[in-house]
Structure 1
Amino acid sequence: MRITAGTVADGIREQLFTVGDIPGVLWTPAAGSGPRPLVLIGHGGGQHKKGWEVVSRAFPYVTACGFAVAAIDAPGTGDRPEHPEIRRLVALIDERKAAGEPFGPALPALYETVAAELIPNWQTTLDALQKLDSVGDSQPVGYYGLSAAGESGIRLVAAEPRITAAVLGLMACDWLLDTAARITIPVEYLLQWDDEGNPRDSVMKLFDALGSAEKTLHANPGGHFRIPPFEIDSSIRFFARHLGGAGVPSSS
Structure 2
Amino acid sequence: MHSLRFTASATSDGVLERDFTLGEVTGVLWSPASGPDHAPLILMGHGGGLHKKTPALMARARHLATTCGYTVAAIDAPGHGDRPRSAEDDQARAELRRAVAAGEPIGPVSSRYGASLAERAVPEWRAVLDALQDLPEIGADTPIAYGGGITLGTAIGMPLTAADPRITAAIFGGGFVVHDALLEAARRITVPVLFLLQWDDEHVDRQSALGLFDAIGSREKTMHANLGGHGGVPAFEDPAPFLVRHLGRATLSPA
AA aligned opposite 2:153: A
- AA aligned to 1:228 is P
CA separation of 1:151 and 1:41: change in aligned 2, threshold 3 A: same
Q: Percent identity?
A: 48
2:14–2:33 CA contact under 8 A, matched in 1: yes
1:202 counterpart (202, 208, 220):
208
Structure 2: where are the runs of 5+ without partners?
A: none
Corresponding residue for residue 163 of structure 1: 167
Deviations 1:58-77 (A, max 9, x none): 01110111011000011111
Residues 64 and 246 of structure 1 are in contact (CA less than 8 Å); yes or no, is this contact kept in structure 2?
no
Determine which structure has greater relative contact order: mean sequence separation of CA pairs < 8 Å that are 6+ residues apart, divided by chain length: 2
Q: CA contact under 8 A between 2:111 and 2:179: conserved in structure 1?
A: no
Question: Does structure 1 residue 217 correspond to structure 2 residue 220?
Answer: no
Query: What CA distance in whole angstroms lies between the structure 1 residues aligned with 2:210 and 2:107?
Result: 21
Question: Is the 2:95–2:109 contact (alpha carbons within 8 Å) kept by the matching residues of 1?
Answer: yes
Query: For the structure 1 residues 37 and 246, does the alpha-carbon distance in structure 2 shift closer, same or farther, using more than 3 Å as the test?
Result: closer
CA distance in 2, matches of 1:238, 1:73: 25
Quick one: structure 1 residues 238 and 104, their matched pair in 2 at CA, closer, same or farther if it must change by over 3 Å?
closer
How many angstroms does 1:14 deviate by? 0.6
2:88 equivalent in structure 1: 85
| Structure 1 length-normalised TM | 0.93
What pairs up with 1:68-147 in 2 under 5 angstroms?
A: 68-103=71-106, 105-143=108-146, 144-147=148-151
Residue 185 (structure 2) aligns with: 179
Q: Deviations for 1:149-179, whole angstroms, at most 9, x for unmatched residues?
A: 1111111111111111001012340322222
CA distance in 1, matches of 2:125, 2:109: 24
User: Alpha-carbon deviation of 1:116?
Assistant: 1.9
In the TM superposition, 1:148-159 aligns within 5 A as: 148-159=152-163
Aligned with 2:51 (options 48, 52, 60): 48
Compared with structure 1, are the counterparts of its residues 15 and 195 closer, same or farther at alpha carbon in structure 2 (3 Å cutoff)? same
Matching residue of 1:237: 241
RMSD: 1.5
Preserved contact between residue 49 and residue 80 of structure 2 (Cα < 8 Å) = yes
Q: TM-score, normalised by structure 2?
A: 0.92
| Residue aligning to 1:250 | none
Name the amino acid aligned to 1:161: P
Question: Does structure 2 retain, via aligned residues, the 8 Å contact 1:192–1:221?
Answer: yes
Deviation at 1:101, TM superposition (A): 2.8
